[in-house]
Chains A and B, each alone.
Chain A
Amino acid sequence: MNLRRDVFQAIADPTRRAILLLVASQSMTAGAIASNFDTARPTVSKHLQILAECELLQQNQNGREIYYHINAKNMKEVADFIEPFRKIWDDRFNKLESVMKDYQSKK
């Protein structure tokens, strides 16, 4: 299956990465996404189509509007999608450990 290769091609483009970053925090309509870019609306639509085709984005119909949001399951297949989140906590807890070791030795 070529999905993996396509996914990497999809995230190789800076605009598409910026789109993923935008919708990571909230689901948005194509119009709302496009308003964040200087690029022409049809170009943004093309990017959305590619991201949706390789299932990095999911579309949800809500009344007349289509909302785009991140497809976590597939993002997980790209790279280890949870790893950066884990790393943040790991760094934080490593710091906790070293701060408390200092605290203990000072007493």
Chain B
Amino acid sequence: MEQKTKINAEGGKQDLVITREFDLPLELLFKAYIIPEIVEQWMSTKVLKLENKKHGSWEFETADAKGNVVFKANGVIHEFVPNKKIIRTFEMENTPFPVQLEFLEFEKISEHTSKLNMHIVYRSGGHRDQMLALPFAQGINMAHNRLQDLVSKLNNR
């Protein structure tokens, strides 16, 4: 099956492009980015602020089950054209990662389908690779922990 979400990250570059086709009309796809309650649902985060306008800003915060804030991010909205594009910055708070620039372009394919093109520019090629490496590194760590859990369960039998 063809993958719905594609990542294009060329070697030695400091940017990447994420593309995705949605089984949704363009207007509905765009709404998913501007209604705070909806953003909260699919991003699994709390939306503290989301000003959908040129020179507006946004702020997200995610807490764990105990209420401890585990993730905080913010940025400014540089350009906002309904059903067409959002240009914004994205910065994770309390991490060594520098701010990144995001160009989101929304496109109609048919009455019922649409496409999102997300171009992310990082401070350097190294920073891009680190962002790409993060889920990979967490993944191998998690796989290892699962393996350890499994082994200890087997040992306890």
Contacts and interface: CB of A to CB of B under 8 A. Distances in A.
Interface of A: 11, 14, 17-18, 20-21, 24-27, 69-70, 72-73, 75, 79, 81-90, 92-97, 99-101, 103-104
Contact of A100 (B32, B136, B140): B32
B96 interface: yes
Judged by DSSP, the binding face of B is helix
Contacts, number: 110
Given A86-B3, A90-B5, A21 B132 contact: no
Give the dominant DSSP class at A's interface: helix
B4 A90 contact: yes
B42 A95 contact: yes
Contacts of B23: 97, 101
A85 B112 CA distance: 27
Residue of A21, A70, A72, A95 with most partner-chain B CB within 10 A? A72
**Residue of B18, B132, B136 contacting most chain A CB atoms (<10 Å):** B136
A20 B140 contact: yes
